[in-house]
Amino acid sequence: MDYANLFRLDGRRVAVVGGAGGIGREAVRALVAQGADVVVADRDEKGAEETVALSGGGTDRSGTASACALDVLDPDAIRAAADAWGPLDGLVVTVGANVRKRVADYTLDEFDRVIALNLRAYLSLVQTFAPGMAERGRGSVVGFASMRAFQVEPGQSVYAASKAGLVQFLRTAAAEWGPRGVRFNAVAPGVVRTPLTDQIAADPAWYDAYAQASALKRWARADELAGAVAYLVSDASTYVTGSVLTVDGGWTAVDGRFDPAL
């Protein structure tokens, strides 16, 4: 084992789907810094191009980044992208949606939207890219679940269900493709300051309540998730599959509990 280069990704091609901003953008930057050649795929092509500009690729020790417009709800577009990108060593998927409503208030259209982005898109992506990885006997797929896969609160029903489903989907994929060298893992963030959490961040009381619920007493920055991605794509995790890497500041450990004076 070459421990000096354990996390290096030189010569490897990785696609980050959802790389136009937030966690996806920081994942791209981390992977490029480790030498990967990264495809930044997103429906927001302008945002993907901005990520490319911020990635800092092209130096002696870094890889490269290129932008690609992609609608993950269009299976034909995904197949066309696969043909254009060529073989992948890694696939990172950060796309997702959340509609915060009580169960009684949810519409079927909202349900379908959340499930489509948080689950159906993964099915299309894995069906398209995993077989090629299996043919080459190697590959790493990293999906983004959430602490809500394990701990819920009012208003998170469909989101939580979709993330719990994603964990089990990735575990099943790990079982099916593991014998052929393809690994599947999930990252489960806690509360992260991204556009997806704008609704919470705009409410000072809500924002502070979430900050106080973790062991670290603060929200995560998007860049604090990038290390988990780099680890799961790299050779540092070659015996890790079917796992969930929780990066939640200790939220699920302390369960947001009141700390009484004893």
Catalytic residues, by residue number, are 159
Q: How far apart are CA 166 and CA 186, in angstroms?
A: 8
The values of phi and psi at residue 143, to 5°, are: -115, 155
- Identify the three-state secondary structure at position 185: strand
Please name the residues in contact with 258: beta carbons below 8 A apart, sequence gap of 6 or more. Answer: none
Burial level of 67, CB count in 10 A (0-12/13-18/19+)?
buried
Element housing 91 (H / E): strand 90-93
Element housing 10 (H / E): none
Per-residue HEC secondary structure of 101-151 comes to CCHHHCCHHHHHHHHHHHHHHHHHHHHHHHHHHHHHCCEEEEEECCHHHCC
| Cβ-contact 248, 211 below 8 angstroms | no
